Amino acid sequence: MNLKLRHYFLTGMLVWLPMGVTVWLLTWLVGTMDGIFLAVLGALDAIIPGMHAIAESLRNVPGLGVVLVALVILGTGIFVANIFGQWWLRQWSRVITRIPVVNSIYSSVKQVADTLFSGSGNAFSKALLVNYPHQGSWTIAFLTGAPGGQVARHLPDDCVSVYVPTTPNPTSGFFLMMPRANVVELDMSVDDALKYIISMGVVVPGGPDSLPTKANPAQTV
């Protein structure tokens, strides 16, 4: 009886856990976008007289922040896709780069974003198997490119830059540079590798059929 109850409970968990995590992530995303929208409304209310009534009426519309933030992002992309928008973007970048502290943060984030979202970039293009944190211990990493500049002069030839994510949160991790001979390229997509990392090795790429089969004791004897 206890085994059946445990089985039913675990089966229910398998149904509700993915759904709960998905709803939680979507709720967090909607709350973040609504927070940005409310912050913009607060700024407009403080700057433009007469915006208080309109702002109060818009605050109570659920999900409006998500729609408006998405429209602003889409409109920005359309605007900067032409020559006039590119000129304004260059002027904005020049102003930002002249501010001492903001310059370092903005430049770093912009370079990372350009590398990740550009079609020609090599960031996270391959899943790798590397020795980490010590020899004999293996983990999954992602190829992010090759060392360059002053750093490359002090490293052996043919080194690669890799990102080793943490589990179960792959947004944090470690940046390593190692010889190409010390990494193993996996015949695995980046999405499958991320699922493998987030699930802490439970979700095997390729499904259960890809798991190694155990030898039959009778055959071994």
Structural domain contains residue 20: yes
Structural domain contains residue 94: no
Structural domain contains residue 38: yes
Domain boundary among 66, 96, 117: 66
Structural domain contains residue 134: yes
Q: For residues 54 and 52, give the distance between their C-alpha atoms in angstroms, rounded to a whole number.
A: 6
Q: pLDDT, tens digit, for every residue of 87-119?
A: 888 888 888 778 877 777 777 777 666 655 555
Provide the whole-model pTM: 0.51
Say whether pLDDT at 38 is over 60. Answer: yes
CB distance 188 to 170 below 8 Å: no
Structural domain contains residue 114: no
Structural domain contains residue 193: yes
Burial of 65 (0-12, 13-18, 19+ CB in 10 A): buried
The one-letter code for the residue type at 188 is: M
- Domain span at 27: 2-66
CB distance 196 to 204 below 8 Å: yes
Domain boundary among 40, 66, 92: 66
Q: pLDDT, tens digit, for every residue of 153-204?
A: 888 888 989 999 888 777 788 899 999 888 999 988 888 888 888 888 887 7
Q: How many residues does the chain have?
A: 221
Structural domain contains residue 18: yes
Structural domain contains residue 171: yes
Number of domains comprising the chain: 2
Q: pLDDT, tens digit, for every residue of 7-35?
A: 777 777 777 877 887 788 778 877 777 77
